[in-house]
Amino acid sequence: MSDRSPADADPADATPAGHAAVPSPRPTLTDVARLARVSRQTASRVARGGDQVNPRTAARVRRAINTLGYRPDPIARALSTGRGRVLGLLTHQLTNRPTSIGAMSIISGVEQAATELGYSVSIASFATFEPAAVQEGIDRLAMARCDGVIFMAPWVSGAETIMAIDRTMPMVTTSTVPGYDGPAVHADMVRSSEEVVEHLLGLGHTTVHHVAGPADWSASRFRALGWEQALRRAGCAVVPPITGDWTARSGYLAGLELANDPSVTAVFASNDETALGLMYALTERGLRVPEDVSVVGYDDAPGSDYFRPALTTVRVDGYEHGRTAVAHLIAQLGGESPESTVIVPHELVIRRSTAKPQRRRRSRTAASKPS
Protein backbone atom coordinates (compact mmCIF):
# COMPACT_ATOMS: atom_id res chain seq x y z
CA MET A 1 0.00 0.00 0.00
CA SER A 2 1.36 3.46 -0.91
CA ASP A 3 1.94 5.95 1.89
CA ARG A 4 1.17 8.87 -0.37
CA SER A 5 -2.00 10.76 0.36
CA PRO A 6 -4.27 11.72 -2.58
CA ALA A 7 -3.22 15.36 -2.08
CA ASP A 8 0.40 14.34 -2.66
CA ALA A 9 -0.18 12.69 -6.00
CA ASP A 10 1.11 14.45 -9.09
CA PRO A 11 1.80 11.90 -11.88
CA ALA A 12 3.50 14.49 -14.06
CA ASP A 13 6.19 15.11 -11.47
CA ALA A 14 6.68 11.53 -10.30
CA THR A 15 9.54 9.39 -11.60
CA PRO A 16 8.35 6.17 -13.32
CA ALA A 17 9.18 2.98 -11.45
CA GLY A 18 12.55 1.50 -12.39
CA HIS A 19 14.10 4.84 -13.34
CA ALA A 20 16.75 6.31 -11.07
CA ALA A 21 16.77 10.01 -10.22
CA VAL A 22 19.79 11.77 -11.69
CA PRO A 23 20.66 14.91 -9.73
CA SER A 24 21.82 18.06 -11.48
CA PRO A 25 25.16 19.65 -10.51
CA ARG A 26 23.29 21.74 -7.92
CA PRO A 27 20.45 19.64 -6.52
CA THR A 28 17.03 21.19 -7.06
CA LEU A 29 13.60 20.58 -5.56
CA THR A 30 12.74 18.66 -8.72
CA ASP A 31 15.66 16.29 -8.01
CA VAL A 32 14.43 15.85 -4.43
CA ALA A 33 10.89 15.14 -5.65
CA ARG A 34 12.07 12.53 -8.13
CA LEU A 35 14.24 10.71 -5.59
CA ALA A 36 11.46 10.76 -2.98
CA ARG A 37 8.80 9.82 -5.57
CA VAL A 38 6.53 12.73 -4.69
CA SER A 39 5.33 15.88 -6.42
CA ARG A 40 7.52 18.96 -6.45
CA GLN A 41 4.82 20.78 -4.45
CA THR A 42 5.09 18.19 -1.68
CA ALA A 43 8.88 18.38 -1.67
CA SER A 44 8.63 22.15 -1.39
CA ARG A 45 6.24 21.96 1.56
CA VAL A 46 8.58 19.63 3.44
CA ALA A 47 11.67 21.71 2.61
CA ARG A 48 9.91 24.80 4.02
CA GLY A 49 9.05 22.95 7.23
CA GLY A 50 5.35 22.57 6.51
CA ASP A 51 3.39 20.01 8.56
CA GLN A 52 0.52 19.22 6.14
CA VAL A 53 2.27 16.16 4.71
CA ASN A 54 1.91 12.50 5.60
CA PRO A 55 4.68 11.78 8.19
CA ARG A 56 6.08 8.81 6.25
CA THR A 57 6.12 10.86 3.05
CA ALA A 58 7.80 13.77 4.83
CA ALA A 59 10.48 11.42 6.19
CA ARG A 60 11.15 10.13 2.70
CA VAL A 61 11.53 13.68 1.38
CA ARG A 62 13.94 14.60 4.18
CA ARG A 63 16.04 11.50 3.38
CA ALA A 64 16.19 12.63 -0.24
CA ILE A 65 17.22 16.14 0.83
CA ASN A 66 20.05 14.72 2.94
CA THR A 67 21.13 12.26 0.26
CA LEU A 68 21.35 14.91 -2.44
CA GLY A 69 22.69 17.66 -0.19
CA TYR A 70 19.90 19.96 -1.33
CA ARG A 71 20.02 23.56 -0.10
CA PRO A 72 17.39 26.19 -0.93
CA ASP A 73 18.38 28.71 -3.59
CA PRO A 74 18.11 32.11 -1.86
CA ILE A 75 17.58 33.96 -5.15
CA ALA A 76 14.75 31.67 -6.19
CA ARG A 77 13.23 31.95 -2.75
CA ALA A 78 13.37 35.73 -2.87
CA LEU A 79 11.64 35.77 -6.24
CA SER A 80 8.87 33.44 -5.10
CA THR A 81 8.24 35.02 -1.68
CA GLY A 82 9.14 38.63 -2.30
CA ARG A 83 11.84 38.35 0.36
CA GLY A 84 15.57 38.18 -0.12
CA ARG A 85 16.36 37.04 3.44
CA VAL A 86 18.43 40.18 3.85
CA LEU A 87 18.39 42.51 6.84
CA GLY A 88 19.48 46.09 6.41
CA LEU A 89 21.66 47.79 9.01
CA LEU A 90 21.70 51.57 8.96
CA THR A 91 24.51 53.05 11.01
CA HIS A 92 27.04 55.86 11.32
CA GLN A 93 30.37 55.72 9.53
CA LEU A 94 32.81 53.80 11.70
CA THR A 95 35.94 55.57 10.41
CA ASN A 96 37.33 59.09 10.58
CA ARG A 97 35.80 59.85 13.98
CA PRO A 98 35.82 58.23 17.42
CA THR A 99 33.25 55.53 18.07
CA SER A 100 32.36 53.43 21.08
CA ILE A 101 33.13 49.79 21.65
CA GLY A 102 29.45 49.29 22.44
CA ALA A 103 28.48 50.22 18.87
CA MET A 104 30.97 47.75 17.42
CA SER A 105 29.66 44.99 19.68
CA ILE A 106 26.08 45.65 18.57
CA ILE A 107 27.07 45.31 14.92
CA SER A 108 28.82 42.00 15.66
CA GLY A 109 25.71 40.71 17.44
CA VAL A 110 23.48 41.70 14.53
CA GLU A 111 25.67 39.96 11.97
CA GLN A 112 26.04 36.76 13.99
CA ALA A 113 22.34 36.44 14.81
CA ALA A 114 21.32 37.13 11.22
CA THR A 115 23.73 34.48 9.93
CA GLU A 116 22.40 31.88 12.35
CA LEU A 117 18.86 32.54 11.09
CA GLY A 118 19.85 32.29 7.43
CA TYR A 119 19.89 36.02 6.71
CA SER A 120 22.63 38.17 5.27
CA VAL A 121 23.21 41.75 6.41
CA SER A 122 23.52 44.74 4.10
CA ILE A 123 25.13 47.72 5.86
CA ALA A 124 24.49 51.31 4.83
CA SER A 125 26.58 53.85 6.73
CA PHE A 126 26.15 57.59 6.80
CA ALA A 127 28.51 60.50 7.44
CA THR A 128 25.47 62.54 8.52
CA PHE A 129 21.97 61.43 9.41
CA GLU A 130 20.14 63.86 7.15
CA PRO A 131 16.58 62.52 6.69
CA ALA A 132 16.78 62.64 2.88
CA ALA A 133 20.02 60.63 2.80
CA VAL A 134 18.73 58.02 5.25
CA GLN A 135 15.43 57.70 3.37
CA GLU A 136 17.34 57.16 0.14
CA GLY A 137 19.35 54.41 1.87
CA ILE A 138 16.17 52.70 3.05
CA ASP A 139 14.66 52.92 -0.43
CA ARG A 140 17.77 51.28 -1.92
CA LEU A 141 17.53 48.46 0.60
CA ALA A 142 13.85 47.97 -0.26
CA MET A 143 14.66 47.75 -3.97
CA ALA A 144 17.28 45.11 -3.14
CA ARG A 145 14.51 43.02 -1.50
CA CYS A 146 15.68 43.77 2.01
CA ASP A 147 13.13 42.35 4.45
CA GLY A 148 13.57 44.82 7.31
CA VAL A 149 15.93 47.38 8.81
CA ILE A 150 17.85 47.75 12.06
CA PHE A 151 18.59 51.42 12.62
CA MET A 152 21.55 52.28 14.85
CA ALA A 153 21.18 55.98 15.61
CA PRO A 154 23.86 56.81 18.19
CA TRP A 155 24.09 60.48 17.17
CA VAL A 156 21.47 62.96 18.27
CA SER A 157 20.82 63.81 14.61
CA GLY A 158 20.10 60.13 13.93
CA ALA A 159 17.49 59.99 16.66
CA GLU A 160 15.81 63.05 15.16
CA THR A 161 15.86 61.43 11.71
CA ILE A 162 13.94 58.36 12.91
CA MET A 163 11.01 60.62 13.70
CA ALA A 164 11.06 62.12 10.19
CA ILE A 165 11.52 59.21 7.77
CA ASP A 166 8.86 57.02 6.16
CA ARG A 167 8.77 53.79 8.19
CA THR A 168 6.87 51.57 5.79
CA MET A 169 9.53 48.85 5.98
CA PRO A 170 9.70 46.83 9.23
CA MET A 171 12.23 48.57 11.46
CA VAL A 172 13.87 48.30 14.87
CA THR A 173 16.17 50.88 16.40
CA THR A 174 18.96 50.00 18.82
CA SER A 175 18.99 53.52 20.27
CA THR A 176 17.02 55.41 22.87
CA VAL A 177 14.80 57.87 21.01
CA PRO A 178 12.47 59.95 23.23
CA GLY A 179 9.00 60.17 21.70
CA TYR A 180 9.55 57.32 19.23
CA ASP A 181 6.75 54.75 19.46
CA GLY A 182 8.22 52.18 17.07
CA PRO A 183 10.01 48.96 18.08
CA ALA A 184 13.25 49.66 19.93
CA VAL A 185 15.90 47.64 21.75
CA HIS A 186 18.23 49.66 23.95
CA ALA A 187 19.95 49.89 27.32
CA ASP A 188 18.74 52.16 30.10
CA MET A 189 21.75 54.47 30.14
CA VAL A 190 20.09 56.98 32.45
CA ARG A 191 19.39 54.43 35.16
CA SER A 192 22.77 52.70 34.85
CA SER A 193 24.54 56.05 35.23
CA GLU A 194 22.45 56.84 38.28
CA GLU A 195 23.64 53.57 39.79
CA VAL A 196 27.26 54.64 39.26
CA VAL A 197 26.68 57.83 41.23
CA GLU A 198 24.72 56.02 43.93
CA HIS A 199 27.61 53.56 44.34
CA LEU A 200 30.17 56.35 44.75
CA LEU A 201 28.01 58.39 47.11
CA GLY A 202 27.36 55.23 49.09
CA LEU A 203 31.12 54.90 49.64
CA GLY A 204 31.12 58.33 51.25
CA HIS A 205 32.12 60.68 48.42
CA THR A 206 30.39 64.07 48.70
CA THR A 207 29.99 64.50 44.94
CA VAL A 208 31.05 62.90 41.66
CA HIS A 209 32.76 64.63 38.74
CA HIS A 210 32.02 63.55 35.18
CA VAL A 211 34.03 63.29 31.97
CA ALA A 212 31.35 63.15 29.29
CA GLY A 213 31.44 61.76 25.77
CA PRO A 214 30.97 63.79 22.56
CA ALA A 215 28.08 66.24 22.75
CA ASP A 216 26.50 64.95 19.53
CA TRP A 217 26.15 61.38 20.82
CA SER A 218 22.87 60.38 22.48
CA ALA A 219 24.74 58.03 24.83
CA SER A 220 26.76 60.98 26.15
CA ARG A 221 23.61 62.92 26.90
CA PHE A 222 21.80 60.06 28.61
CA ARG A 223 24.80 59.10 30.76
CA ALA A 224 25.30 62.73 31.76
CA LEU A 225 21.58 63.01 32.50
CA GLY A 226 21.65 59.99 34.81
CA TRP A 227 24.78 61.35 36.55
CA GLU A 228 23.17 64.76 37.12
CA GLN A 229 19.80 63.40 38.23
CA ALA A 230 21.36 61.15 40.87
CA LEU A 231 23.45 64.01 42.28
CA ARG A 232 20.51 66.40 42.44
CA ARG A 233 18.29 63.78 44.03
CA ALA A 234 20.95 63.30 46.73
CA GLY A 235 21.35 67.05 47.23
CA CYS A 236 24.98 67.00 46.06
CA ALA A 237 26.90 69.63 44.14
CA VAL A 238 26.78 69.28 40.35
CA VAL A 239 30.08 70.44 38.87
CA PRO A 240 29.94 71.08 35.09
CA PRO A 241 31.28 68.01 33.25
CA ILE A 242 34.39 67.96 31.08
CA THR A 243 33.56 66.96 27.49
CA GLY A 244 35.68 64.21 25.92
CA ASP A 245 35.44 62.20 22.71
CA TRP A 246 35.47 58.55 23.89
CA THR A 247 39.27 58.32 23.54
CA ALA A 248 41.94 57.62 26.15
CA ARG A 249 43.66 60.85 25.16
CA SER A 250 40.60 62.93 26.04
CA GLY A 251 40.46 61.10 29.37
CA TYR A 252 44.13 61.87 29.93
CA LEU A 253 43.63 65.59 29.29
CA ALA A 254 40.62 65.64 31.60
CA GLY A 255 42.67 63.83 34.23
CA LEU A 256 45.40 66.49 34.14
CA GLU A 257 42.73 69.12 34.81
CA LEU A 258 41.01 67.19 37.59
CA ALA A 259 44.31 66.33 39.28
CA ASN A 260 44.77 70.03 40.07
CA ASP A 261 41.47 70.21 41.96
CA PRO A 262 41.90 68.89 45.53
CA SER A 263 38.11 68.57 45.92
CA VAL A 264 37.95 65.79 43.32
CA THR A 265 37.63 62.37 45.00
CA ALA A 266 35.40 60.49 42.52
CA VAL A 267 35.06 60.61 38.73
CA PHE A 268 32.57 58.92 36.41
CA ALA A 269 34.10 58.56 32.93
CA SER A 270 31.78 58.22 29.93
CA ASN A 271 33.46 55.01 28.75
CA ASP A 272 36.34 52.71 29.67
CA GLU A 273 38.85 54.19 27.23
CA THR A 274 38.26 57.61 28.75
CA ALA A 275 38.70 56.08 32.21
CA LEU A 276 42.02 54.53 31.14
CA GLY A 277 43.45 57.88 30.06
CA LEU A 278 42.04 59.51 33.17
CA MET A 279 43.75 57.05 35.50
CA TYR A 280 47.03 57.43 33.60
CA ALA A 281 46.98 61.19 34.15
CA LEU A 282 46.05 60.92 37.83
CA THR A 283 48.83 58.41 38.46
CA GLU A 284 51.30 60.53 36.53
CA ARG A 285 50.45 63.43 38.83
CA GLY A 286 51.21 61.30 41.87
CA LEU A 287 47.62 60.49 42.84
CA ARG A 288 46.49 57.00 43.75
CA VAL A 289 43.42 55.23 42.36
CA PRO A 290 41.27 54.58 44.33
CA GLU A 291 42.89 55.87 47.55
CA ASP A 292 42.94 59.49 46.34
CA VAL A 293 40.43 59.39 43.49
CA SER A 294 37.86 56.68 42.69
CA VAL A 295 37.20 56.12 38.97
CA VAL A 296 34.28 54.41 37.21
CA GLY A 297 33.98 53.73 33.47
CA TYR A 298 31.24 52.45 31.17
CA ASP A 299 31.03 49.53 28.66
CA ASP A 300 33.13 46.88 30.46
CA ALA A 301 35.50 46.89 27.50
CA PRO A 302 37.71 43.83 26.98
CA GLY A 303 40.72 44.21 29.26
CA SER A 304 39.09 46.64 31.68
CA ASP A 305 39.53 44.05 34.42
CA TYR A 306 43.29 44.20 33.70
CA PHE A 307 43.58 47.97 34.16
CA ARG A 308 45.73 48.91 37.13
CA PRO A 309 43.69 48.92 39.26
CA ALA A 310 40.91 46.81 37.72
CA LEU A 311 38.17 49.17 36.58
CA THR A 312 34.73 49.48 38.14
CA THR A 313 32.41 49.90 35.16
CA VAL A 314 28.93 49.39 33.72
CA ARG A 315 28.46 46.25 31.68
CA VAL A 316 25.93 46.26 28.85
CA ASP A 317 26.26 43.25 26.58
CA GLY A 318 26.42 44.95 23.19
CA TYR A 319 26.64 41.62 21.41
CA GLU A 320 23.38 40.47 23.01
CA HIS A 321 21.94 43.91 22.28
CA GLY A 322 22.44 43.30 18.57
CA ARG A 323 21.10 39.76 18.73
CA THR A 324 17.97 40.94 20.52
CA ALA A 325 17.39 43.59 17.87
CA VAL A 326 17.51 40.90 15.17
CA ALA A 327 15.05 38.71 17.09
CA HIS A 328 12.72 41.70 17.49
CA LEU A 329 12.84 42.39 13.76
CA ILE A 330 12.34 38.75 12.77
CA ALA A 331 9.26 38.64 15.01
CA GLN A 332 7.81 41.53 13.00
CA LEU A 333 8.58 39.77 9.73
CA GLY A 334 6.74 36.72 11.06
CA GLY A 335 3.59 38.76 11.61
CA GLU A 336 3.97 39.10 15.36
CA SER A 337 3.34 42.34 17.22
CA PRO A 338 6.36 42.59 19.51
CA GLU A 339 6.38 44.91 22.50
CA SER A 340 7.39 48.42 21.52
CA THR A 341 10.54 48.56 23.66
CA VAL A 342 12.93 45.93 25.00
CA ILE A 343 15.42 47.09 27.65
CA VAL A 344 18.82 45.39 27.45
CA PRO A 345 20.01 44.47 30.98
CA HIS A 346 22.97 46.25 32.54
CA GLU A 347 25.19 45.51 35.51
CA LEU A 348 27.43 47.68 37.66
CA VAL A 349 30.64 45.65 37.89
CA ILE A 350 32.48 46.71 41.03
CA ARG A 351 36.23 46.18 40.94
CA ARG A 352 39.24 47.82 42.60
CA SER A 353 39.14 51.35 41.14
CA THR A 354 36.56 52.60 43.66
CA ALA A 355 36.85 52.86 47.44
CA LYS A 356 35.91 55.00 50.42
CA PRO A 357 37.44 58.48 50.21
CA GLN A 358 40.64 59.04 52.13
CA ARG A 359 42.67 62.13 52.81
CA ARG A 360 43.92 62.97 49.36
CA ARG A 361 47.59 63.43 48.50
CA ARG A 362 48.66 66.67 46.90
CA SER A 363 49.29 66.13 43.19
CA ARG A 364 52.55 66.95 41.46
CA THR A 365 52.24 70.06 39.33
CA ALA A 366 54.63 68.97 36.60
CA ALA A 367 53.59 66.32 34.10
CA SER A 368 54.60 65.29 30.64
CA LYS A 369 52.14 64.05 28.07
CA PRO A 370 52.52 60.44 26.90
CA SER A 371 54.29 60.09 23.59
Residues forming a β-bridge with 343: 186
- What CATH code would you report for 6-72? 1.10.260.40
Do the beta carbons of residue 152 and residue 311 sit within 8 Å?
no
The model's pLDDT over 3-33, given as tens digits with 9 standing for 90+, comes to: 444 334 333 333 333 333 343 457 887 888 8
pLDDT computed for residue 368 by the predictor: 47
User: Does 83-188+318-345 match 189-316 in CATH topology?
Assistant: yes
Distances (CA, A) of 87 to 13, 62, 133: 35, 28, 19
**What CATH topology corresponds to 189-316?**
Rossmann fold (3.40.50)
What is the C-alpha separation between 219 and 155, in angstroms, rounded? 8
> Would strands 341-344 and 346-349 be described as parallel, antiparallel, or unpaired?
unpaired
- Statement: the pTM of the whole predicted model exceeds 0.75: no
Structural domain boundaries of the chain? Answer: 6-72, 83-188+318-345, 189-316
Q: Is 82 helix (H, G, I), strand (E, B) or coil?
A: coil
Whole-number CA gyration radius for the chain: 28
3-state SS string for 247-267: CHHHHHHHHHHHHCCCCCCEE
DSSP 227: H
CA atoms within 13 A on the CB side of 173: 24
Residue 186 burial (CB < 10 Å; 0-12/13-18/19+)? buried
Residue 101: per-residue pLDDT? 74
Can you list the residues of the chain whose pLDDT is less than 70? Answer: 1-25, 48-51, 72-84, 93-100, 166-167, 338-339, 365-371
Choosing among 3.40.50.2300, 3.20.20.20, 3.40.50.20, 3.90.1300.10, the CATH entry for 83-188+318-345 is 3.40.50.2300
At residue 152, the pLDDT reads 87
Closest CA to 271 of 237, 295, 291, 253: 295
